[in-house]
Amino acid sequence: MATSIDVIQNIGNNREYLNGLAEQLRTGAGVTPFVGAGMSAQLQLLDWGEFLISIGRRFYAEEPVKELVAAGKYEEAAEVCIEKSGPGGLQHAITEEFGDKRLDQCKKIAGALPLLPEIANGPVLTTNFDHVLERTFSSAKKGFTQVLWGDSAASMIESFHKNLRYLFKIHGDVDRPEQRILTRQEYDRHYGEVGKAENHELPLHGVIDIAMKTRPLLFLGCSLKSDRIVAFLQEFYTDYQRLMHYAIVWRPDDEESFRRRGEELTRLGLKPIWYRAGDYDSVALILEYALVRAGRIRPPKNKALPKATGPTLVHEALREQKYAELAALGAAPKLGRLYELEAAAIARGELAFFLGWGVHLGRDRGPEDPLTWREASQRLAEQIEYDEPIGSVTDFTRLTQYIYDTAGEIKFDEYMRDFLGRPYPPTLAHFFIAGLPGVLRSKRYTGIAPLILTTNQDDVLERSFEQFGEPLDTLSYIGRGANQGYFFYRPASGPAAILRGGKQVARVTAGERPLLLKLHGGVDRLDPDAEKMVLTEEDHLSYLARLSVSDLLPPIVKQRLIRSQILFIGYALRDWTIRVLLKRIWAEQRPRKVSYAILLGATKVTQQLMLKQGVEVVDQRWEHVLAGLVMAVSALPNAVLQSTVSPS
């Protein structure tokens, strides 16, 4: 029976590396699977070492072959087998064990194998002779465009440049004896001689080099001990220590061996994701977990993702570190009274946060950091050769309408998922929000978990809560399709549902756990059908045409908004749909509460228009305002707990 994913996550650095793998799978590049014999062994094919020992046994050389295999000297073991059986004898045995007739006798492709086509966006590498991968990908209707081996290295390099679905069989194919790499001499010819400097002109070297530089490799079913691939990894990591790869490997039983093996793999530039020795079903569980988290597959029926049970000491230390980083930036001056008032409102559960795109833009933007909304929109326009200017939200909705009308809904959804679903790194603004539940809990405030609103359609905030081990409920508006106009509710625990009324709406809480209200919908990696976002002109018109989106909110959420002021971070309140929604909420506030917007460099026109709506502009960088708020929240007194003992 396979280990649960909860157990797997607690082995070594698995939790961190599994989340990192899922993050990488969310990107367009993804990973390149590097598949070894351990994956074919799931069909009861012998792994390479077992195969060589079986040949040695057949030709009366079992002991010397077994000793060489145990020492990791597979090339020398193959030479002994050829010497004893003759070249024809070994080749015939390879065909018998790894050929199609043998595969026809194997059980149905199952376990981790069917997940491989979901892992691979482009090229795949393997050292296996058999046709297991070809059959697996064909069964998933994602067959390889070409299958290449040794003398086709140039074509394989091209496949990495163009991201083509090619399979490169590094050591050859069962049906091409002349292309197989078996002996020490053949390995030296293709990899270069052991002990000598690497020959970068060898075609195979070029393939592996570009594979390692293009995107992370994911090693599956590979021993990663003393073989030529390990030598490549050692050389590559020496030159490129920031580029690391992933490997799913079995965990040695005793702690000392586990520690040594972890150090070995780390020195090769690998992030090991461990599973219990012999529990091969766990490989499928690991891949499934990463793919679901990345939004590439849906959770299997009757099988929900594990939910966070609460922050650990490690999570709390990370929160304290991020809060210290924010406080160290220094509070914006002359706002001391504002900090105290807002901190007190947080403690009463009467301050809601509204996050705009500006929260992605930190003070020290580098070339790899998110673009401004306008820059990102202009880049999207360039990609599709859209020839009208992009300068406002209205221009963007026109751009998205054009994409929808010309490309169709399926292609449109792919464009938007790629555009909005990029793994932007959380900023200190995200970490500030995600850290509030822990701070309030430490001061014994209950029933006032943060309420967050946003028009951002990414999932950066959700990932920030995950990094802190904090549960988060989400309410996401559905902007298109049969369920248009309803909210999709995904609680931190329990099943997700479309809120059509009655018992479904009654499940929603607004205070027990943090609640994120995604007013224009958002990327949903677990259920793409729930991510019909408000993007196009028609989407926005439909949004406005509804009598009141606020009436679709669960009453408990609407009441929380009515009694709260709002702190806008990185949002200028220019979107008509949101202005209409908030105007209807604020119309029911008695008395009307003053809200604030942190907007550096806001024009006088913007300030006056927002003040007319009851929103005062704080003309400062959000980092410095939140630094002051961090200090004010941290200075809150502990809540006074009500006694349950009746007075005598």
575 and 506 housed in the same domain: yes
Distances (CA, A) of 409 to 14, 331, 403, 469: 38, 46, 9, 36
Tracing tokens 């105290």 back to the chain, one arrives at 340
Q: Would residue 397 count as lying in a domain? A: no
Boundary residue ending a domain (294, 323, 352)? 294
- Residue 535: the pLDDT is 86
- Residue 502: the pLDDT is 66
551 and 611 housed in the same domain: yes
509 and 590 housed in the same domain: yes
Give how many domains the chain has, as a whole number.
3
287 and 352 housed in the same domain: no
pTM of the model: 0.59
496 and 603 housed in the same domain: yes
- Residue 2: the pLDDT is 44
508 and 627 housed in the same domain: yes
- Residue 530: the pLDDT is 67
Least confident of 69-83, 178-192, 252-266, 445-459: 178-192
- Residue 623: the pLDDT is 94
Q: Residue-wise over 433-462: b if at least 16 C-beta within 10 A, else e? A: bbbbbbbbeeeebeebbbbbbbbbbbbbbb
Which pLDDT tens digit goes with each residue over 492-508?
Answer: 877 788 888 766 787 78
Mean local confidence (pLDDT), 513-540: 82
For 199, the domain range is 5-42+108-120+135-142+175-294
427 exposure class (CB count in 10 Å sphere: 0-12, 13-18, 19+): buried
Q: Would residue 129 count as lying in a domain? A: no
Least confident of 29-43, 100-114, 277-291, 594-608: 100-114
Tracing tokens 């169709």 back to the chain, one arrives at 408
Cβ–Cβ < 8 Å for 518, 525: no
59 and 32 housed in the same domain: no
101 and 113 housed in the same domain: no
- Residue 201: the pLDDT is 63
288 and 320 housed in the same domain: no
485 and 604 housed in the same domain: yes
pLDDT at position 646 over 60: no
Please indicate whether residue 275 or residue 393 has the higher confidence score (pLDDT).
Answer: 275
Closest to 492 (Cα-Cα) out of 295, 301, 311, 307:
307
Instruction: Give the residue ranges of DSSP H helices in 192-239.
Output: 203-214, 228-239
Q: Would residue 384 count as lying in a domain? A: no
Sign of CA dihedral 133, 135, 138, 140: negative
- Residue 12: the pLDDT is 84
Helical axes 428-442 vs 336-348, angle rounded to 10°: 60
pLDDT at position 528 over 90: no
Q: Would residue 162 count as lying in a domain? A: no
Q: Would residue 502 count as lying in a domain? A: yes
Q: How many CB atoms lie within 10 A of CB 359?
A: 28
With bands split at pLDDT 50, 70 and 90, how would you rate the model's confidence at 308? Answer: very low
277 exposure class (CB count in 10 Å sphere: 0-12, 13-18, 19+): exposed
Over the chain, what is the mean pLDDT?
A: 83
- Residue 94: the pLDDT is 84
389 token code pair: 């200017």
Q: Would residue 392 count as lying in a domain? A: no
Mean local confidence (pLDDT), 252-260: 84
With bands split at pLDDT 50, 70 and 90, how would you rate the model's confidence at 362? Answer: confident
Boundary residue ending a domain (259, 294, 329)? 294
Q: Would residue 348 count as lying in a domain? A: yes
CA 523 – CA 417 distance, rounded (Å): 7
- Residue 85: the pLDDT is 83
23 and 54 housed in the same domain: no
218 exposure class (CB count in 10 Å sphere: 0-12, 13-18, 19+): buried
Q: Would residue 642 count as lying in a domain? A: no
15 and 100 housed in the same domain: no
- Write the CATH number for 585: 3.40.50
